[in-house]
């Protein structure tokens, strides 16, 4: 109940930049599994979010861990699927674009970063994490099932920035990312594809680097995590694969 009241308060604060219809959708997804929209139209993974499914799929809002406060910069994400892949779209305002890591599986999560976490089956099979900075460089892995090092085969990340990354003297506009994750790449899913009605635990998260803020960054995610850790899967939301 406390969480629900806090969500409502936060939603009122967001109403200034989102339509009433959008706010209603977000209030619903906080209470029930978030629909992952099936798309028959191919998604071109180029960071340009102009596919019809990105207009039609319901948006997810981002909240601060623990407090569920509104983040310093706004962002939204949407999820979709085809028979072969999970797609995620992310769009964020950001006045200070910053990313310096160029090598896979390094600490990309310290840059301006968008993170996708999915747990396709029971916790004993683990979950996959993709922590990808705005250069499109990822730190991906399989966690919770022995901690084996893992690289997503065929996973694609397409960032698009509006502004000048790694230049402190100006103000930037923001950035977006389009993600495609082949289902057969997910070890935690066991070489299967989801069926309509299947539900996965998930979390989408953002680290927003900005030297003007205390600590130099702001954290937010779509799940109501009760600790300052995006990996705290017991608090993740659920998504449901909608029928074609
Ligand atoms: Ca696109
Ligand atoms: Ca930033």
- Residue 176 Cα to ligand 1 midpoint, Å, equals 10
- Residue 30 Cα to ligand 2 midpoint, Å, equals 26
Q: Which class does domain 33-241 fall in?
A: mainly beta
Q: Considering every ligand atom, which ligand is closest to the CA of 52? A: 1
Whole-structure pTM value: 0.87
Q: The tokens of 189 are what?
A: 């899913």
Average pLDDT over residues 116-127: 96
Q: Considering every ligand atom, which ligand is closest to the CA of 51? A: 1
Q: What is the pLDDT of residues 200-241, one digit of tens each?
A: 999 999 999 999 999 999 999 999 999 999 999 999 999 999
What does the mean pLDDT of the chain come to?
Answer: 88
Q: What is the pLDDT of residues 140-192, one digit of tens each?
A: 999 987 666 899 999 999 999 999 999 989 999 999 999 999 999 999 999 89
Does the pLDDT value for residue 88 go beyond 50? Answer: yes
- Residue 8 Cα to ligand 1 midpoint, Å, equals 32
CA distances to 145, 186, 194 from 121, in Å: 12, 11, 10
Cα–Cα dist 145/120, whole Å: 13
Share of the chain above pLDDT 70, in %: 86
Helix-helix angle 2-14:20-31, to 10 degrees = 160
- Residue 123 Cα to ligand 2 midpoint, Å, equals 32
Q: Considering every ligand atom, which ligand is closest to the CA of 88? A: 1
Q: Considering every ligand atom, which ligand is closest to the CA of 171? A: 2
Q: Considering every ligand atom, which ligand is closest to the CA of 55? A: 1
- Residue 73 Cα to ligand 1 midpoint, Å, equals 23
- Could you please report the per-residue DSSP string of 160-207? EEES-TT-TTS---EEEEEEEEEGGG-GGGTS----TT-EEEEEEEEE
Q: What is the pLDDT of residues 16-55, one digit of tens each?
A: 333 333 433 443 445 589 999 999 999 999 999 999 999 9
Q: Considering every ligand atom, which ligand is closest to the CA of 209? A: 2
């Amino acid at each position: 109940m406390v969480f629900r009241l806090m969500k409502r308060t936060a939603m009122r604060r967001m109403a200034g930049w989102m339509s009433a219809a959008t706010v209603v959708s977000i209030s619903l997804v906080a209470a029930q599994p978030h629909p992952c929209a099936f798309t028959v139209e191919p998604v071109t993974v180029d960071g340009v979010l102009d596919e019809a499914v990105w207009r039609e799929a319901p948006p997810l809002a981002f909240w601060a861990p623990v407090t569920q406060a509104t983040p310093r910069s706004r962002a939204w994400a949407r999820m979709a699927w085809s028979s072969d892949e999970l797609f995620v779209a992310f769009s964020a305002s950001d006045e200070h674009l910053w990313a310096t890591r160029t090598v896979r599986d390094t600490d990309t999560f310290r840059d301006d970063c968008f993170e996708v976490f999915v747990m396709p089956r029971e916790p004993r099979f683990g979950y996959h994490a993709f922590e990808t900075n705005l250069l499109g460089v990822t730190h991906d892995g399989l966690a919770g099932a022995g901690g084996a090092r893992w690289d997503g085969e065929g996973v694609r990340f397409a960032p698009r920035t509006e502004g000048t990354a790694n230049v402190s003297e100006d103000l930037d506009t923001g950035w977006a990312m389009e993600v495609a994750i082949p289902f057969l790449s997910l070890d935690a899913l066991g070489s299967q594809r989801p069926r309509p009605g299947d539900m996965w635990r998930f979390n989408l998260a953002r680290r927003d680097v900005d030297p003007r803020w205390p600590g130099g960054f702001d954290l937010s995610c779509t799940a109501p995590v009760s600790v300052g850790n995006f990996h705290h899967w017991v608090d993740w939301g659920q998504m449901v694969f909608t029928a074609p």
